[in-house]
Amino acid sequence: MSEYVIEMLNITKEFPGIKANDNITLQLKHGEVHALLGENGAGKSTLMSVLFGLYQPEAGVIKKDGKEVKINNPNDANALHIGMVHQHFKLVEIFTVLDNIILGAEPNKMGFLKKAEARKKVLELSEKYGLQVDPDAKIEDISVGMQQRVEILKMLYRDNEILIFDEPTAVLTPQEIDELMEIMRNFTKEGKSILFITHKLNEIMAVADRCTVLRKGKYMGTVDIKNTTKEELSRMMVGRDVKFEVDKEPQKLGDVVLDVQHVTVPSKLHSNNAVKDVSFQVRAGEIVCLAGIEGNGQTQFVYALTGLDKMSHGKITMLGHDITRAKIRERSKLGMSHIPEDRHKHGLVLDFTLEQNLVLQRYWQPEFQKYGFIKNAEVRKYAERLIRENDIRSGQGPITTVRSMSGGNQQKAIVAREIDKNPELLVAVQPTRGLDVGAIEGVHKQLVAQRDAGKAVLLVSLELEEVMSVPDRILVMYEGEIVGEFDPKKTTVQELGLYMAGAKNMYRDVEKKGGAEA
Amino acid sequence: MKKGLISILSSVISILIGLLFGLILLLIVNPAQAFPKFGEMLTAGFSSAPKLAKVLYQAAPLIMTGLAVAFAFKTGLFNIVASGQYTVGAFTALACAIIFQMPWWVCLIASMIAGAVWGFFPGLFKSLFNVNEVITSIMFNWIGMMAVNLLCMNLKNAAGLNVMLPTAWVSSPIKDRTAALSYANPNAMIPKMGLDKLFNSNFMNISIFIAIVVAVIMWVILNRTTFGYELKACGFNKNASIYAGINAKRNIVLSMVIAGALAGLGGGIYYLAGTAEYTIQKLLLPMGFNGISVALLATSNPIGTIFSALFISYIQVGGESLQPVFAKEMIDIIIAVIIYLSAFALLTKTILSKYIRLDKSNVNAEPASAAPVKPDVKPTLKESEGEKA
């Protein structure tokens, strides 16, 4: 038997205008965690699509256990026991966990489902690997972390031996990430092989045995994690040294830009309020970070702040104007920019071209239209400038359909668009989600440049590294309330963690919380 | 450019498949006559000036209903109420012409307003209460048709005469259709500008040019204006359009209003030609539903709508030439099969773009490889035309 369970040798795959994979070799050993590292658009997804038979490479061969195989479609891949957890889960929202797991591999007798058998197998697997799920819960009702466990169980249910995780930690809380790492280690003990696609260096250092690095479609090499460092990996990936700290000028605080008073937002899911009596200010020349674990009211607060949703109580003032009930366009005209949390839902019109998306917030300005007619030449010129300045990579430049771009480049386009508006207040919600270290560095620089230019920035982040390095002030949100305010220079991750988990509250005694509310 | 080519190509391929199925049906029913009659059907529209006039005459309202569906599609709405909009537009135009003795252009404006009102309500319910527009649209189709029937039968003037019916104008026993414009109000007939002489046909007037101009205007609105940009943004991703400060609710209503005005105008230009009277209907008028085929065949492109409407009108006129060898029902089935398969343009487009993407890796190669296919297709049509001549 070959040392390698899967080998992809000298794979080349071209698309119109771009060589997505140029002579790439990836060899996965039995029982190892192999990381696949690369910037956005480096060709990781393309390589995986080739492995799954979604694309046919122009050159190169794929071998399983040393024997050459031909993979024409995902069913072939499945037959070779290759399974994948996609970055965006492929689950049927209104089906139960069990139904989703067996979907496509339903055990049946003459066309009648044999669910009891399936349930037994799923429960056994879930027990064995510590993947707790409720087989009867509907997907739409369970957390993202739980959904991911369903995806993993899907692979195990099909007896997959080669497990591919595509940026699995992007949607998880720190605790869930730790759990996932543990689960991955268990899998390799069982002899399963894992391909771990990511651009988070810390995770690679923590869990991977070896790492293959791609850059702009080219193969940069494979390294043993034991013999390398974070710095070396990032240099291989980006092609230059990457700074992990953020340089900031001394702070020059200006006037109050944003004044939030007693904002309360009702929840769509339950009768409680999602945001409870939140008050704070953001001044010119500072970055304030709203930190917290996902689902503690940050999203609803940002919706109310940016006008996407209504609040039930409170008042928001921006630059002296009451914007509590202002329309989104009015807020935009006042100088508010918004990098949204969900780029596919809010940030982009995926079927528009890149240039159309880049003017999404400005197409109505005199610069881009006259008597209601869009000035196409101006739009093109503007888009070309943003693409150049922000290194937004795509197949066909301004006329690329955004749907066909990689997630990281989509995010870059949004960031470029929002910052180029030259806003007085920038509301950035997880602006680096799904970006690689090089791009993260770029976004952080842009945020700090805004601050240094005397603008106000409200950053909403789940990433502790970002929370500690970028802002001037940290506000921790827990269950819709602000429970603490910190100076990042004077606090620690551990202290923040206690507040984020609700174990501490600066403004009242946690033990008496129940009584205080009653 | 590349996308446009794929769109045209897929429509043409769909048409060819549809024609092939039509031929197979003919062969099954009457093998001996199938080929000559099929050839005749394909060439009838061009066989004489009056036939061509008929093609253009029917194509004009089809372009309008096709645009009504296509425009709403672009905004993410399924305007299935085109038939109702067309009917109320037709009635309003006729009422303005016969009862109020208005000139033709006032009648056309009135038909647009009536159609717009019929688009407004489904749009309003959709935007305010998120009621699926398909449901309200189907209801509004019937409401529109029944209301028009009712009004046609019961609009009485002070003297107790129903002026909509021929009995008020000439001695006629006909009670189920409106009075002809030729005696009721010749001023309301759409100008012919000598085209009737040129084509030697009473069907010919300027309506086809009105329809083409409107289609071009729609294309400009969708592709060149901020308003079109907003409408398309709403259609593709409502959330993102709201995020960008676009008033999505207003745009949904506006889109339906414009679509309604287009279909209403279609009703106006058809019935103001003076060659047809509105007959009391028991079924929804097919013109609105054919608009759906027209829009699908054109993959919702306003300019494409012109050509797909011409094609469907051409096939309909051609179908008449199958009589009496084939039963009238058979002809309807064959036309339906052709139109039905032609509407597969979107599916063909998906398959085609996939094939082209897989096969070609070089951008420059694509136009070159796709281009020869188009001339290939046209001669096929012309050859069969030649057969007959």
Residues whose CB falls within 8 Å of the CB of residue B365, separated by 6 or more in sequence, listed in order: none
Q: What is the mean pLDDT of residues A131-146?
A: 84
pLDDT of residue A513: 46
On the question of pLDDT at B389 being above 50, the answer is no
Q: What is the mean pLDDT of residues B128-157?
A: 89
Please give the residue that has the higher pLDDT: either B295 or A247.
B295
On the question of pLDDT at B84 being above 70, the answer is yes
pLDDT of residue A511: 55
pLDDT of residue B343: 66
**Maximum Cα interatomic distance, chain A, rounded to a whole number of Å:** 74
Name the H helices within B237-371: 238-243, 248-271, 286-297, 302-320, 328-342, 345-359, 365-370
Q: How many domains would you assign to chain B? A: 2
Whole-angstrom distance, CA of residue B363 vs CA of residue B350: 18
Residue B26 included in any domain: yes
Which chain A residue has its CA at the smallest distance from B245's CA?
A: A329
Under the banding of pLDDT at 50, 70 and 90, the label for residue A281 is: very high
Backbone angles phi, psi at A178, to 5 degrees: -60, -45
Residue B39 included in any domain: no
HSE toward the beta carbon, residue B268, CA cutoff 13 A: 34
Whole-angstrom distance, CA of residue A486 vs CA of residue A476: 8
Neighbour tally for A86: CB within 10 Å: 15
Do A345 and B240 make contact, defined as CB atoms within 8 angstroms? yes
In terms of domains, do B330 and B247 share one? no
In terms of domains, do B300 and B365 share one? no
Whole-angstrom distance, CA of residue B296 vs CA of residue A91: 31
Q: Which of A58, A348, A364 sits opposite B240 (nearest CB)?
A: A348
Under the banding of pLDDT at 50, 70 and 90, the label for residue A173 is: low
pLDDT of residue A473: 94
pLDDT of residue B342: 67
In terms of domains, do B68 and B180 share one? yes
Least confident of A58-72, A335-349, A352-366, B183-197: B183-197
pLDDT of residue B120: 95
Under the banding of pLDDT at 50, 70 and 90, the label for residue A224 is: very high
CA distances from A207 to A25, A129, A179 (A): 22, 17, 12
In terms of domains, do B303 and B351 share one? no
For residue B237, list chain A residues with Cβ-Cβ distance below 8 A.
345, 348-351
Whole-angstrom distance, CA of residue A474 vs CA of residue A483: 11
pLDDT of residue A455: 93
Whole-angstrom distance, CA of residue A176 vs CA of residue A171: 9
On the question of pLDDT at A161 being above 80, the answer is yes
Amino acid at B131: V
In terms of domains, do B189 and B303 share one? yes
- The pair of structure tokens assigned to B251 is 């745009």
pLDDT of residue A171: 66
In terms of domains, do B274 and B132 share one? yes
Do B233 and A349 make contact, defined as CB atoms within 8 angstroms? yes
Residue B389 included in any domain: no
**Packing angle, helices B345-359 and B286-297, rounded to 10:** 0
The answer to whether the Cα torsion of B272, B276, B280, B286 is positive or negative is negative
On the question of pLDDT at A140 being above 70, the answer is yes
Q: Which of B229, B361, B363 sits opposite A374 (nearest CB)?
A: B229
Question: N- to C-terminal Cα distance for chain B?
Answer: 36
Q: What is the mean pLDDT of residues A443-464?
A: 91
In terms of domains, do B244 and B195 share one? yes
Question: Domain A248-335+424-518, what fold?
Answer: Rossmann fold (3.40.50)
Backbone angles phi, psi at A388, to 5 degrees: -65, -50
Do B225 and A372 make contact, defined as CB atoms within 8 angstroms? yes
Under the banding of pLDDT at 50, 70 and 90, the label for residue A158 is: confident
Whole-angstrom distance, CA of residue A248 vs CA of residue A448: 7
Decide which of B305, B321, B337 is a domain's last residue.
B321
pLDDT of residue B325: 81
pLDDT of residue A510: 66
Decide which of B301, B321, B341 is a domain's last residue.
B321
Decide which of B321, B337, B358 is a domain's last residue.
B321
Helix, strand and coil in chain A, % to nearest 5: 35, 25, 35
Whole-angstrom distance, CA of residue A186 vs CA of residue A339: 38
pLDDT of residue B367: 32
Do B224 and A374 make contact, defined as CB atoms within 8 angstroms? yes
For residue A376, list chain B residues with Cβ-Cβ distance below 8 A.
224
Please give the residue that has the higher pLDDT: either B355 or A80.
A80
On the question of pLDDT at A401 being above 80, the answer is yes
Neighbour tally for B239: CB within 10 Å: 17
What integer best gives the mean pLDDT of chain B? 83
Question: Could you tell me where in chain A the CATH 3.40.50.300 domains are found?
Answer: 4-238, 248-335+424-518
pTM of the model: 0.75
On the question of pLDDT at B222 being above 90, the answer is yes
Do A360 and B361 make contact, defined as CB atoms within 8 angstroms? no
On the question of pLDDT at A63 being above 80, the answer is yes
Interface-testing mutation among B73, B229, B356, with chain A (most A C-beta atoms within 10 A): B229
On the question of pLDDT at A338 being above 80, the answer is yes
pLDDT one-digit tens code per residue, B253-279? 999 999 999 999 999 999 998 888 888
Q: What is the mean pLDDT of residues B201-221?
A: 92
Under the banding of pLDDT at 50, 70 and 90, the label for residue A493 is: confident
Residue B309 included in any domain: yes
pLDDT of residue A1: 62
Under the banding of pLDDT at 50, 70 and 90, the label for residue A482 is: very high
Least confident of A34-48, A198-212, B303-317, B334-348: B334-348
Q: What is the mean pLDDT of residues A169-193?
A: 83
pLDDT of residue B197: 82
- Asked whether this complex has an ipTM greater than 0.85, the answer is no
On the question of pLDDT at B360 being above 80, the answer is no
Please give the residue that has the higher pLDDT: either A348 or A86.
A348
Residue B265 included in any domain: yes
Please give the residue that has the higher pLDDT: either B34 or B229.
B229
**Whether A276 contacts A222, CB under 8 Å:** no
Interface-testing mutation among A349, A358, A376, with chain B (most B C-beta atoms within 10 A): A349
What integer best gives the mean pLDDT of chain A? 87
On the question of pLDDT at B71 being above 60, the answer is yes
Q: What is the mean pLDDT of residues A48-65?
A: 90
Least confident of A29-38, A244-253, B20-29, B259-268: A244-253
Do B244 and A352 make contact, defined as CB atoms within 8 angstroms? no
CATH code at position B305 = 1.10.3470
Residue B36 included in any domain: no
Residue B42 included in any domain: no
In terms of Cα–Cα distance, which of A464, A462, A409, A417 is closest to A438?
A: A409
Residue B35 included in any domain: no
In terms of domains, do B201 and B349 share one? no
For residue B225, list chain A residues with Cβ-Cβ distance below 8 A.
369, 372-374
pLDDT one-digit tens code per residue, B101-142? 899 999 999 999 999 999 999 999 998 998 888 899 999 999
In terms of domains, do B74 and B143 share one? yes
Whole-angstrom distance, CA of residue A256 vs CA of residue A281: 7
CB contacts < 8 A (A, B): 73
Whole-angstrom distance, CA of residue B51 vs CA of residue B46: 7
Do B240 and A346 make contact, defined as CB atoms within 8 angstroms? yes
Do A373 and B226 make contact, defined as CB atoms within 8 angstroms? yes
pLDDT of residue B41: 84
In terms of Cα–Cα distance, which of A169, A231, A161, A238 is closest to A197?
A: A169
In terms of domains, do B227 and B331 share one? no
- Give the domain range for residue B8: 1-30+326-381
Q: What is the mean pLDDT of residues A506-513?
A: 66
In terms of domains, do B5 and B145 share one? no
Q: Which of A126-130, A460-464, A475-479, B160-164 has the highest mean pLDDT?
A: A475-479
On the question of pLDDT at B368 being above 50, the answer is no
Q: What is the mean pLDDT of residues A234-254?
A: 79
Superfamily of domain A4-238 in the CATH hierarchy: P-loop containing nucleotide triphosphate hydrolases (3.40.50.300)
In terms of domains, do B333 and B315 share one? no
Under the banding of pLDDT at 50, 70 and 90, the label for residue B305 is: very high
Interface-testing mutation among A356, A360, A429, with chain B (most B C-beta atoms within 10 A): A360
Q: Which of B227, B236, B242 sits opposite A352 (nearest CB)?
A: B236
Q: What is the mean pLDDT of residues A115-126?
A: 89
Interface of B with A (CB under 8 A): 224-227, 229, 232-233, 236-237, 239-246, 357-358, 360-363, 366
